[in-house]
Chain A
Amino acid sequence: MTATVSDRRPPAVPERTPVLEIENLSVDYGYDDDPAHVLRGVSLTLHRGEVLGLAGESGCGKSTLAYAATRLLPPPGLVTGGRVMFTDRDGSRSDVLALSDAELRAARWQDVAIVFQGAMNSLNPVFRVGRQIADGIRAHRSVGRREALDRAAELLEMVGISPDRLRDYPHQLSGGMRQRVMIAMALALEPQVLLMDEPTTALDVVMQRQIVEQIAELRERLGFAVVFITHDVSLLIEMADRIAIMYAGEIVEDAPAREIYQRPRHPYSSALLHSFPPLRGARRELSGIPGAPPNMAHLPTGCPFVPRCPHAADACRAGRPTLGPTAFAEAGRSVACTLHDGAREVPQELAQR
């Protein structure tokens, strides 16, 4: 394990209580002698009531992180190390990865709920949506069918769907409505953490905005924390409090959303932000990022971004950079790049103050 961060973590911003702490989580895919290391010592803290954005290209491990942290990783995925500490409302802490089956079953959905990628297709087509929501409630609470359905009606209303849709089958709802049913279902037990894996990717921008607003509004009202996974960085900057950028199974930058947008510190964050053509402002030539995302089965030694990085130097090839403070020692920010070690001058585009 090369990536340890605990000793170099920047000073935490006070008066925030963590609810989910992922520490040094590592995941391999494949059981043979040569597995792909898709998560390599990832550490991430989610605070109560915070929206944390997780951004990166496909295959960078952002979904794997969410599934590993909830023990939903399907084979051949294997958690090879790390802890996932969950802090309950009363302050008691437990390691999700060490829970027994019964404890896990009780904790799932109740503490941490997930809205899956392509949630529109994760509803059961042969049951009415009301029953599907009620089933989830009845699995955790000892309530009658009637009561559970009443609660389901409440939940639908909360996400802006008329309660008489309870008796509809999923195919009778539009894509946006199905997505909202999934959100309603995830909120049924008032979880403290909501993981959303690309919840709006399959939707149109107008619908996406409606869903995103809905989530923001519900979070304000109910106070849960959100991990929002997407590749759409511009959307994250708008809705997230903090953004963690992932590349090749590692977090390369972790900072407040506006900060990362205005002052990216990692070359990959900066390049990713410039991969989206702007809708307003000057039209200029953009190039995207040269090369292709790395093959996780054969990662180069050193920083995995080296082949695509305009600032790569010998130091980058020598060892894998770990997440640490930026060259400007900004509070609440960390970056994994040798440029911030102090040995080299930070290039101008990454040094905006």
Chain B
Amino acid sequence: MTDVSAPSPVPGRTPAARPEVGSPAPLVLSAVGLRKHFPVRGMRTSAVVHAVDDVDLDLHRGEVVALVGESGSGKSTIARVLAHLMPATGGEIRLHGEPVVARRRRDFRRYVHRVQMIFQDPFASLNPIHPVRYTLSRSLRLHRGRMPRDEHERALHELLARVQLTPPELYVDKYPHELSGGQRQRVAIARALAADPEVLLADEPISMLDVSIRLGILNLLRDLRDRLDIAILYITHDIASARYFADRTVVLYAGRVVESGDSESVTQDPKHPYTQLLIGSAPDPDDLQARARGARGEAPSLVTPPPGCRFHPRCPFAVELCRTAVPPLTEVASGRRAACWGYPGDDADVPDGLARPTLGSMLDTYGARPGREEGADR
């Protein structure tokens, strides 16, 4: 799999069996201590936006990892850095364990051949003046080289069939404006598949689409994961769709990972107070009681992020320790990790004289509507 120079055509790859529990699938792409800061525009300032700080992320073969967070939490930045669309400020991106630095054009192309990205807006990501044939042919030619005409045609049709745009003849000569949003997103996915990638970075692939066709796209991506054994990073703000689609879920808050684990347990038994707030805030008609009512506050400024845990200004359980020291991402249950001082861990991390907070139930805390405090929104 590490041989970049000889790509196998998409249909040629044999799907491996789904990994058994306990024998993890091989690691494909990983980020170690990833950091991205953006300079603040303006005069005489050296301030930076701490968009992403110390993020570790592992993508295994045939696994969907969801990156969940609110807008401004850095989830799209992570995707763009992983796709080498912008350089990282610090940390490493490793492909099959090897650090990748794609400074030169040729390196970049070789990297992109294996790591493809799907963008949020299929209305903007397809060139409106070219038909589907051109869009896909270009990707095929770049990544698989020139091929005889009939072979090329066959590859085109295979790609369209793979994303369930059938019969392919009906779609291959259409322009983007003749397609619906869902069909366009399928073309964008086909374009990514033309490179025969090992990793798909999907940046909110369904949030611009009509609600009734979103599941169709998620089901298609899941089908691709199973058949082609692709690793998928699914970026979303909708934690319910992460539960539906992803094997593992990583929750981001203000540029840091606050919790990770398998999707089912993260959504059913959230450990970090922020995840609890997130789950408790999502609309759920089945259970109108379990609502985090009366929550206040907003995400912090990332130019001057709060010291310590970045969630502490909104956290009802925060103590002095949370305000001074950054909590490490520690194992809180089997396969579950959370960055919260409220869970027992290595006490060597805890500065002298400070006590760990006692966590309570987020729902109990926010269950009753508290009186509004003066200036609580600042």
Interface residues, chain A, with chain B CB atoms under 8 Å away: 57-59, 160-162, 174-177, 204-210, 213, 231-235, 237-238, 261, 271-272, 275-281, 283, 285-290, 292-293
Contacts and interface: CB of A to CB of B under 8 A. Distances in A.
Contacts of A285: 219
A59 B213 CA distance: 14
B283 A232 contact: yes
Given A58-B210, A271-B212, 7 more contacts: A57-B211, A233-B211, A237-B285, A275-B212, A279-B240, A283-B264, A292-B213
Contacts of A277: 215, 240-241, 243-245
Contact of B287 (A213, A276, A280, A293): A280
A293 B180 contact: yes
A271 B283 CA distance: 18
A18 B180 CA distance: 39
A175 B287 CA distance: 28
A346 B29 CA distance: 51
24 contacts: A57-B211, A160-B376, A162-B374, A204-B237, A204-B299, A205-B281, A205-B283, A207-B298, A210-B296, A213-B294, A232-B283, A237-B283, A261-B285, A271-B212, A275-B212, A277-B243, A277-B244, A279-B243, A279-B267, A280-B284, A288-B212, A288-B219, A292-B181, A292-B213
Contacts of B214: 275, 288
B126 interface: no
Contacts of A231: 210-211
A174 B378 CA distance: 10
Interface residues of B, number: 50
Contacts of B210: 57-59, 231, 292-293
A346 to B, nearest CB: 22
A282 to B, nearest CB: 11
Interface string B21-37: 00000000000000000
Nearest to A205: B281
B116 interface: no
A213 B293 contact: yes
Contact of A287 (B215, B268, B283, B298): B215
A9 to B, nearest CB: 27
A160 to B, nearest CB: 6
A162 B376 CA distance: 8
Nearest to B298: A174
Contacts of A280: 267-268, 284, 286-287
A283 B376 contact: no
Interface in B182-238: 182-183, 210-216, 219, 237
Given A162-B375, A261-B285, A209 B212 contact: no
Interface in B262-284: 264, 267-268, 277-279, 281-284
Contacts of B283: 205, 209, 232, 234-235, 237-238
Contacts of B285: 234, 237-238, 261
A234 B212 CA distance: 13
Interface string B289-302: 00111111011000
Dominant SS among interface residues on chain A = loop
B158 interface: no
A210 B287 contact: no
Dominant SS among interface residues on chain B = loop
Most buried by B among A160, A162, A279: A279
Contact of A204 (B71, B180, B212, B219): B71
B298 A281 contact: no
B103 interface: no
A276 B240 contact: yes
Given A280-B286, A281-B286, A293-B212, A206 B281 contact: yes
Contacts of A162: 374-375, 377-378
A279 B219 contact: no
A235 B281 CA distance: 10
Contacts of B295: 206, 209-210
A204 B70 contact: yes
B292 A160 contact: no
Contacts of B374: 162
B377 A160 contact: yes
A287 B181 CA distance: 17
Interface in B107-132: none
Contacts of A286: 215, 244
B288 interface: yes
Nearest to B216: A288
B67 interface: no
B155 interface: no
- Shortest 5 CB-CB contacts between residues of A and residues of B: A288-B215, A277-B244, A204-B70, A289-B212, A237-B285
A273 B273 CA distance: 29
B176 to A, nearest CB: 14
B156 interface: no
Most buried by A among B183, B244, B369: B244
Most buried by A among B215, B241, B287, B378: B215
Contacts of B278: 205-206
Nearest to B291: A209
Contacts of A290: 216
Contacts of B243: 277, 279, 283
Given A205-B237, A213-B293, A283-B244, A278 B284 contact: yes
A292 B180 contact: yes
Contacts of A235: 283
A288 B222 CA distance: 14
B338 interface: no
B202 to A, nearest CB: 16
B239 interface: yes
Nearest to A180: B377
